[in-house]
Amino acid sequence: MRLIAAAAFAVLASPALAANAIPFHDMIAGMIDDYARPKFAAFATSTATLRDTVAGLCRAPSAEALNKAQDAFRTTVVAYSEAEFLRMGPLQIGDREERLLFWPDSKGIALRQVQAALGSKDPTAAAPDTLQGKSVAMQGLAAVEFLLFGTGANDLASAAGAYRCSYASAASTLIAGIADTINAEWIATGAGSAADSMLNPQPASSDYRTELEVINKMAATLTFGNDAIRDQRIAPILSLSTGVPKPRSALFWRSGMTAKALEANFTGLLDYFRAARFEPALDAANRWVGRSIVFEFEGAIEAAKEVPQSVEGAIKDPEGMLGLRQMYVSTGSLDTLDENLAVALGLSAGFSALDGD
């Protein structure tokens, strides 16, 4: 088989590439050091607290212990929501992402499976080793949310919730374990580590062959994040196909964390954008793109703050609906700006890797 490089395009390379004010290597390093590492470290810390507070609740059930576990869950949701859209590195290995959060779940699979386990007091769901081998929908954050906040969760404050608590403890232990692994893999720097594969791409690598491939994937993360926020988080609530909002299609509605998670999603993407130094990488003629992206993110974050804690309340409240719609519109504006960003950096993010067509 002949290998042909399209060398003709060496002379046609986009002039924007040469004009980048920040070397690609520095952008990659910034993304790793100032985004991936601190965000996944925070996620690992929050899940360790979740694991420990749920274990504490199971040992000594009380209303206060339940509150602590619920608070730990809320902190975990924020930490995960700031980190979850990174399409590169340890989170993308195997089915870790689905194990941490099985979503979208348009058919309510997690709820059905968790309720079935509760109904039968399935012992294999109450120990990490056996839970790990069961459906991924039963072991992630959506499952833990139902256990800590869903119908019957008040039982957790007394011995009546012993089975439920051991299941929540098993699931929290698994989540903390994955978070710990991801954190350790991001910290690693040796040959073959995630950071090394991005900072030192090799032509024969199965991950990244060039720095340009890494940057393309980095830009695609922005597009993916926007699309995921719109298509998986906001659109199911608005249900534009029926015109009748569906508050129970919201992620984390039981814990009242829907809007907080959205706020953290946008905050995380803005932190990512800054850490990777996309804005300073643009030349003067394109600096407006970076400024506009920051402006849209900040607007979306403010809109999320306007949305009430209860999604049921939010859709009845004109201000709440306004906030959801504004965020929805922001994701569209950000899509176009991300296309501008790709063109300005000589990339093709919008047309390739994460498209699925």
Partner 1 sequence: MWQRRAFLKAAGAGFAASLLPQPAEALARAELVFATATQERPGQYGARVLTETGKLIADVELPVRGHDVTYSPEAGRAVVFARRPGTFAVVFDPTGQAAPQTIASVEGRHFFGHGVFSPDGRLLYATENDFEAGRGVLGIYDVAGGYRRIGEFQTYGVGPHEVILLPDGKTFAIANGGIETHPDYGRSELNLDSMDPSLSFVDARDGHLVGQLRLATELHQLSIRHMVVDAAGRIWFGCQFRGHTGMPQLVGYATLDGDIRLIELPPDALAGLRNYVGGLAISADLETVAVSSPVGGTILCIDAASAAPISQTLLASTCGVATDSSGFIASNGLGQWLGLDGSAVGAQKFDFQFDEHLRQLRS
Which residue among 47, 249, 255, 330 contacts partner 1 (CB under 8 A)?
249
Binding segment toward partner 1, per CB under 8 A, in 6-14, 63-71, 146-154, 252-260: 6-14
- Report yes or no: 115 and 163 within 8 Å, Cβ to Cβ: no
Instruction: Output the CA torsion sign for 29, 34, 37, 39.
Output: negative
Buried b (16+ CB within 10 A) or exposed e, 33-64: ebbbbebbbbbbbbbbbbbbbbbbbbeebeee
Handedness of CA 190, 33, 301, 264 (dihedral sign): positive
The encoded tokens of residue 307 equal 């949305």
Is residue 227 close enough to count as binding partner 1 by CB under 8 A? yes
Task: Verify binding: residue 202, partner 1, rule CB under 8 A.
Answer: no
Taking the least distance from each CB to partner 1, the nearer of 137 and 153 is 137
9 binds partner 1 (CB under 8 A): yes
Neighbours of 145 (CB within 10 A): 26
Q: 128 preceded by cis ω (within 30°)?
A: no
What does 118-166 look like in DSSP terms, one character per residue? HHHT-GGGSSHHHHTTS-GGGTSHHHHHHHHHSTTGGGGGSGGGHHHHH
Per CB under 8 A, the segment of 41-49, 185-193, 228-236, 266-274 that binds partner 1 is 228-236
For the bound state, the minimum distance from the C-beta of residue 265 to partner 1, rounded and expressed in Å, comes to: 15
239 makes contact with partner 1 (CB under 8 A): yes
Q: Which of 4, 18, 60, 191 binds partner 1 (CB under 8 A)?
A: 4
Q: Quick check: 353 binds partner 1 (CB under 8 A)?
A: yes
Residue 247 lies near partner 1 (rule: CB under 8 A): no
* DSSP single-letter state for residue 335: H
Q: By CB under 8 A, tell whether 352 contacts partner 1.
A: yes
Closer by beta carbon to partner 1, 240 or else 285: 240
Residue count, binding to partner 1 (CB under 8 A) = 50
The 119-158 contact track toward partner 1, x by CB under 8 A, reads -----------------x----------------------
Please list, residue by residue across 318-345, b when 16 or more beta carbons sit within 10 angstroms of its beta carbon and e when fewer do.
Answer: eebbebbebbbbbbebbeebbbbbbbbb
**Spatial CB neighbours of 318, under 8 Å, sequence gap ≥ 6:** none
- Shortest separation between residue 46's beta carbon and partner 1, angstroms: 24
Selected binder of partner 1 within 5, 60, 159, 191 (CB under 8 A): 5
- Site residues (vs partner 1, CB under 8 A): 1-6, 8-9, 12, 14, 93-95, 104, 106-107, 136, 206, 212-213, 216, 227-228, 230-232, 235-236, 238-242, 246, 249, 336-337, 339-340, 342-343, 346, 348, 350-353, 355-357
